[in-house]
């Protein structure tokens, strides 16, 4: 029988554990001060409560419930929203999902395990009016649907609290399971960036240290939010932060091409080496002295000695062999190579070395050579203090797309572009599960156009309601997710971008077994499936109104296909198929009520046939299993 269950988080972790040495990488949250906390490890697996912690630990009311929520399987699915998928004439490799990101992250565990190179999220900062997540252990999809179905078109309503202690607890209970699940999706060389401000940065650091590992902390970037201060006696707070953590400590962030106004001189090598600057003399007086670097150079009928010393002074210096004094920076061999290859300039009584934009001298096994490569510089934690990363520019970004102010507090495109460049290469996938107005999708598209990349994005946004007196509501955007989708569409059109996106929404499963599981909590998944299949009606295994295309994508997602997988309807004189394919994998779905052995004529070699169990007689089923890959519903 085809797999219909969502990923079991614990089994997935245990199966991955092949060596004891890998334990810390797989369960970093079970380690404290570099040592395995046995009680915490047992709790992760068996729900054992640690009553007495006598060492440093990070706890709050509800943390044990977080582990329950993490381990609980999802009984939801993602249904294709064809009315919002953009644009049919373009490749739809990008994905937008409307729904609670907790459930969505669970559903992505199989198909996107170690597939995401970069995660960026901008979660609620936990101000008085920005917290709308309310997770309930148990039936999480029902909890979600109750809150969304009450206003299917209007969206998810807010849950707010003014109690300071409870406010932090609620925020931690929200963020912890989402970050825990997100780590499974990152590639081993992946990186996560999280925006936050002073309200929760201290808690976020502790959560990230526990989930991602303190040793995988990359940096904390202060970001300028605005230039102008308050016109009052209060301290103006003009910054927030971006925290960066890696999946493991070996991550290498990309460097930026670097130049400055001092690169202004030209020579015959400009086409390949670029311009050069003269800011370094060949001799220095403050470097470690070496007699081998203290020698005469004859150039342009002149004798040059480090520090413009006389021969006698040079000989005396060589005998004295001081710790530091004037000498050449280059050896005789390196100087000879530099002179022959245009790296030397004489100005007055000094020798200078050229610093090119795109060339340096390197040494290989066969000696020195001119190494042609762009000059780069690493990112610093102060980079985001540039005003182009401020919220003033995010408002300008949105004003170029929408006529009215439909969203407050979005991040500027330049900020996310900076992070996308820093953490990804041309074919990577970027995930944002607090998508907001859709800045991440905008930034990925803009960065791809800038450097020719083919990065893909996955965005997840809760259908949170907009205020009735807001410009967004008046403009017809009843949910923030409506704004997200509309922005992506407009940016695609504005940039004349080559790719569109597929749109999905979180919903209940298409299979009746999950509804029955709620009614019969003591029965197993297998027992309920057997009971449903005893019915004479094939449709009894499905929920009322289930669409075949939704069944296809639910089965696909739970069996390792990505949300970008393509589908195609195929009709033959006898059978109808939906072909689902991605790279070399092909699933052929046939929902006909009666199937004979001749169906194998239409199944490509290596493809899997999926059909209703009741559509096959026992003899047909046996014959097909001998001749092709068959799974039944």
Q: Classify residue 262: in a domain, yes or no.
A: no
Question: CA-to-CA distance for 230 and 497, rounded, in angstroms?
Answer: 40
Q: Are 88 and 208 in a shared domain? A: yes
DSSP 343-400: -EEEETTEEEEEEESSEEEEEETTEEEEEE---EE---TTGGGSGGGSHHHHHHHHHT
Q: Classify residue 44: in a domain, yes or no.
A: no
Q: What is the pLDDT of residues 491-543, one digit of tens each?
A: 999 999 999 999 999 998 888 876 666 666 666 666 666 666 655 455 577 88
Residue 327 has pLDDT above 70, yes or no: yes
The pLDDT score that the predictor gives to residue 256 is 87
Cis amide prior to 87 (ω within 30 degrees):
yes
Question: CA-to-CA distance for 448 and 498, rounded, in angstroms?
Answer: 10
- CATH code of the domain covering residue 102: 3.40.50.150
Question: CA-to-CA distance for 31 and 23, rounded, in angstroms?
Answer: 9
Q: Classify residue 627: in a domain, yes or no.
A: yes
The pLDDT score that the predictor gives to residue 320 is 94
Q: Are 348 and 226 in a shared domain? A: no
Q: Are 533 and 457 in a shared domain? A: no
CA dihedral (52, 56, 61, 62) in degrees, to 10, reads -90
The pLDDT score that the predictor gives to residue 161 is 46
Asked if 532 and 541 count as a contact pair (C-beta separation under 8 A), the reply is yes
Q: Are 95 and 241 in a shared domain? A: yes
Asked if 192 and 182 count as a contact pair (C-beta separation under 8 A), the reply is yes
Q: Are 461 and 531 in a shared domain? A: no
Q: Which helix (H) or strand (E) holds 4?
A: none
Q: Are 220 and 303 in a shared domain? A: no
- Domain containing residue 445: 58-254+388-507
Pairing of strands 499-508, 76-80: antiparallel
Q: Residue 397: CB partners within 8 Å, gap ≥ 6?
A: 410, 412, 413, 439, 442
Residue 19 has pLDDT above 70, yes or no: no
Q: Are 425 and 496 in a shared domain? A: yes
- The Cβ-side half-sphere exposure at 437, using a 13 Å CA radius, reads 24
The pLDDT score that the predictor gives to residue 599 is 96
Q: Classify residue 576: in a domain, yes or no.
A: yes
Asked if 32 and 57 count as a contact pair (C-beta separation under 8 A), the reply is yes
Packed helices 63-71 and 9-16: angle between N→C axes, nearest 10 degrees: 80
> Which of 84-93, 211-220, 258-267, 395-404 is predicted least confidently?
84-93
**Mean pLDDT across the stretch 19-26?**
67
The last residue of a domain, from among 484, 507, 530: 507
Pairing of strands 456-461, 429-432: parallel
The last residue of a domain, from among 330, 355, 377: 377
**What phi and psi values does residue 443 have, to the nearest 5 degrees?**
-70, -40
**What phi and psi values does residue 460 have, to the nearest 5 degrees?**
-130, 130
The pLDDT score that the predictor gives to residue 587 is 97
Q: Residue 489: CB partners within 8 Å, gap ≥ 6?
A: 86
Asked if 359 and 368 count as a contact pair (C-beta separation under 8 A), the reply is no
Average pLDDT of the chain? 86
Q: Classify residue 193: in a domain, yes or no.
A: yes
Q: Classify residue 429: in a domain, yes or no.
A: yes
Asked if 630 and 609 count as a contact pair (C-beta separation under 8 A), the reply is yes
Q: List, in sequence order, every residue forming a beta bridge with 377; answer none if it has no partner.
A: 256
Of all residues in the chain, what percent carry a pLDDT higher than 90?
64
Q: List, in sequence order, every residue forming a beta bridge with 432; answer none if it has no partner.
A: 459
Q: Are 467 and 527 in a shared domain? A: no
Q: Are 233 and 176 in a shared domain? A: yes
pTM over 0.85: no
Asked if 412 and 446 count as a contact pair (C-beta separation under 8 A), the reply is no
**Mean pLDDT across the stretch 329-350?**
96
Q: What is the pLDDT of residues 44-56, one digit of tens each?
A: 776 655 555 556 7
Q: Which helix (H) or strand (E) holds 154?
A: none
The pLDDT score that the predictor gives to residue 145 is 58
Give the N- to C-terminal CA distance of the chain in Å, as an integer: 6
Q: Residue 190: CB partners within 8 Å, gap ≥ 6?
A: 116, 117, 118, 119, 246, 247, 251, 423
The pLDDT score that the predictor gives to residue 544 is 85
Overall size of the chain counted in residues = 633
Q: Are 397 and 334 in a shared domain? A: no
Q: Which helix (H) or strand (E) holds 449?
A: helix 439-451
Q: Classify residue 145: in a domain, yes or no.
A: yes
**Around Cβ 243, how many Cβ atoms within 10 Å?**
20
Question: CA-to-CA distance for 41 and 38, rounded, in angstroms?
Answer: 5
Q: Are 248 and 395 in a shared domain? A: yes
Q: Which helix (H) or strand (E) holds 607?
A: none
Domains in the chain, number = 3
How would residue 228 be classed by pLDDT, with cut points 50, 70 and 90?
confident
Ramachandran region, residue 237 (left: φ > 0; alpha: ψ -120 to 50; beta: rest):
beta
Question: CA-to-CA distance for 156 and 176, rounded, in angstroms?
Answer: 21
Q: Classify residue 17: in a domain, yes or no.
A: no
Q: Are 66 and 93 in a shared domain? A: yes
The last residue of a domain, from among 450, 473, 507: 507
- The Cβ-side half-sphere exposure at 268, using a 13 Å CA radius, reads 3
């Amino acid at each position: 029988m085809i797999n219909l269950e969502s990923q079991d988080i614990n089994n997935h972790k245990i199966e991955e554990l092949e060596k004891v040495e890998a334990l810390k990488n797989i369960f970093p949250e079970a380690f404290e001060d570099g040592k395995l906390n046995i009680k915490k490890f047992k709790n992760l697996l068996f729900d054992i409560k640690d009553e007495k912690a006598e060492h440093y630990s990070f706890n709050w009311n509800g943390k044990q419930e977080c582990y329950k929520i993490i381990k609980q399987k999802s009984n939801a699915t993602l249904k294709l929203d064809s009315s919002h998928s953009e644009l049919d004439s373009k490749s739809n490799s990008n994905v937008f999902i409307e729904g609670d990101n907790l459930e969505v992250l669970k559903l992505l565990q199989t198909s996107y395990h170690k597939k995401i190179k970069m995660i960026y999220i901008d979660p609620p900062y936990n101000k008085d009016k920005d917290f709308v997540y309310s997770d309930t252990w148990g039936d999480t999809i029902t909890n979600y649907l109750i809150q969304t179905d009450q206003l299917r078109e209007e969206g998810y309503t807010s849950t707010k609290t003014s109690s300071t202690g409870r406010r932090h607890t609620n925020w931690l209970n929200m963020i912890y399971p989402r970050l825990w699940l997100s780590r499974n999706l990152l590639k081993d060389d992946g990186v996560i960036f999280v925006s936050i401000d002073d309200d929760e940065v201290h808690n976020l650091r502790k959560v990230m240290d526990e989930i991602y590992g303190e040793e995988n902390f990359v940096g904390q970037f202060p970001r300028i939010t605005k230039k102008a201060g308050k016109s009052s006696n209060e301290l103006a707070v003009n910054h927030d932060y971006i925290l960066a953590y890696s999946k493991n400590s070996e991550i290498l962030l990309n460097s930026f091409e670097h130049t400055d106004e001092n690169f202004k001189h030209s020579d015959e090598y400009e086409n390949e080496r670029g311009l050069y600057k003269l800011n370094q003399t060949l001799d220095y007086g403050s470097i470690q002295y070496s007699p081998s670097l203290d020698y005469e150079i004859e150039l342009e009928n002149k004798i040059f000695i480090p520090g413009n010393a006389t021969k006698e002074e040079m000989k005396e210096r060589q005998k004295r062999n001081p710790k530091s004094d004037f000498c050449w920076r280059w050896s005789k061999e390196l100087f000879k190579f530099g002179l022959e290859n245009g790296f030397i300039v004489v100005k007055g009584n000094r020798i200078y070395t050229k610093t090119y934009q795109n060339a340096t001298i390197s040494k290989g096994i066969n000696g020195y050579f001119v190494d042609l490569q762009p000059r780069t510089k690493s990112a610093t934690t102060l980079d985001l203090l540039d005003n182009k990363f401020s919220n003033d520019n995010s408002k300008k970004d949105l004003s170029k797309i929408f006529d009215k102010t439909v969203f407050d507090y979005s991040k500027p495109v330049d900020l996310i572009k900076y992070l996308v460049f820093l953490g990804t290469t041309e074919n990577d996938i970027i995930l944002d599960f607090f998508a907001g107005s859709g800045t991440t999708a905008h930034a990925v598209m803009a960065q791809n156009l800038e450097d020719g990349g083919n990065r893909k994005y996955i965005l997840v946004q809760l259908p949170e309601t907009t205020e009735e007196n807001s410009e967004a509501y008046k403009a017809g955007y009843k949910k923030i997710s409506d704004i997200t989708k509309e922005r992506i569409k407009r940016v695609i059109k504005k940039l004349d971008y080559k790719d569109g996106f597929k749109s999905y929404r979180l919903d209940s499963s298409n299979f009746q077994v999950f509804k029955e599981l709620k009614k019969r909590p003591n029965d197993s998944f297998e027992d309920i499936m057997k009971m449903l299949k005893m019915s004479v009606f094939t449709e009894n295994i499905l929920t009322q109104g289930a669409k075949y295309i939704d069944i296809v994508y639910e089965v696909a997602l739970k069996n390792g296909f990505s949300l970008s997988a393509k589908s195609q309807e195929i009709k033959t004189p006898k059978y109808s198929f939906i072909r689902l394919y991605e790279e070399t994998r092909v699933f052929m779905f046939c929902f006909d009520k009666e199937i004979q052995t001749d169906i194998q004529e239409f199944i490509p070699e290596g493809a899997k046939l999926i059909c209703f169990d009741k559509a096959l007689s026992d003899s047909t089923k046996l014959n097909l299993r001998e001749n092709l890959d068959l799974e039944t519903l």
